Amino acid sequence: MKEPTVSIIVPNCNYAKFIPDAIASIKAQTLPDWECIIIDDASTDNSVAVIKSLIADDDRFRLIVNSEPRGISTTRNIGLNVATGEYISFLDSDDCYAEYFLEMLVKLARETRVDIAGALSKNVGEDFSFKTSDTQWNTYDYVFLDDPYDMIQTPENRKWIWVWRKIYKRSLFENIRFRDAMKVNGDDVMFMLDLQWHVPRIAESNIEAIYHRLHKTSITSKFNIERVRMFPLLFRYIRDGLMDKYDKKFWNSFYPGLFLLLLNESFIRFADVLTEQDKKDLKQVLSQACKIIDKRKLSFKQRLLCRYLTWIK
């Protein structure tokens, strides 16, 4: 049997409300030569029934159901382990592709001879409903990114850690997987840090081709201590395995930004809703993270704050 051009990996957990749009956007792809692997991470809503009803008439879909929650990283890895396409793409089950997403990026990747090609994303609201557009896409309106520093300086609609904006040559994943320890978030940061240091350049289309849904049930829209617990793991992984993979210019930009993200996710965004137990847990996680952080890569004020957070009880 001929291998598909693209393997689409869709993790899902309790998004029965949104996944019909995601599936509709996949079925609408103008590139027909794809397979879609949907991995349901032990949803407690009616996701599995909804998915089965929507894919029953199309054998390009495959549904895998986790018997117990495994987390976002392991769930994506399950898809990677069975994917057979020349390229890999990821789609979160609350987002949608434009109908030309796969065709445009495959053509762009082949014409520019790159292993990763991306498109611009567009934020949409909770009530967004997928429909095809009349966009006249092309593969000549693009930019090359050939420096990791430039990759992390891009605007939000070209955000470097959003893995679902891109397609990837499957050969890149021979030795790279999402880190299983990152069960709630941080999977994308660690994944891209593992990946982009040995990718010479990325072709980025200047055309919007994916819809990113913003909604109140998103994991990023509410406080979750597990989202903060990923930071010590991430800082330790950077310290032990990645410091020599990127140059000083990259770390001088990325590292302080990651520290600010830690502070933001800890108490800046959610200050008004934190319980006393949340604050107690945060103190412990912040202290743990700040003991691992390389303070030499922070600004003077950040170093002072980091040292203070190391001592608090």
Class of domain 6-219: alpha beta
The gap between the terminal CA atoms of the chain, to the nearest Å, is 60
How buried is 311 (Cβ within 10 angstroms: 0-12 exposed, 13-18 middle, 19+ buried)? exposed
Mean pLDDT confidence for 73-80: 95
Diameter over CA atoms, the chain: 61
For residue 3, how far is the Cα from the chain centroid?
Answer: 25
Q: Which two tokens stand for residue 235?
A: 């800082």
Q: List the one residue out of 35, 37, 36, 30 whose CA is nearest residue 4.
A: 35
Q: Does pLDDT of 78 surpass 60?
A: yes
172-209, pLDDT tens digit by residue? 999 899 887 777 667 788 899 999 988 989 999 999 99
Token pair 């700040």 is at which residue?
Answer: 290
pLDDT at position 265 is: 78
Q: List the one residue out of 218, 223, 313 whose CA is nearest residue 267.
A: 223
Report the phi/psi class of residue 71: left, alpha or beta, with left for phi > 0 and alpha for psi in -120 to 50.
left
pLDDT at position 179 is: 86
Q: What angle do CA 117, 27, 186 make, to 5 degrees?
A: 45
Alpha helices in the chain (DSSP H): 19-27, 47-55, 72-82, 101-112, 148-151, 187-196, 225-241, 248-263, 276-292, 300-311
245-303, pLDDT tens digit by residue? 999 999 999 999 999 988 887 777 777 778 888 888 888 888 999 999 999 999 999 99
- List the domain boundaries for the chain: 6-219, 222-311
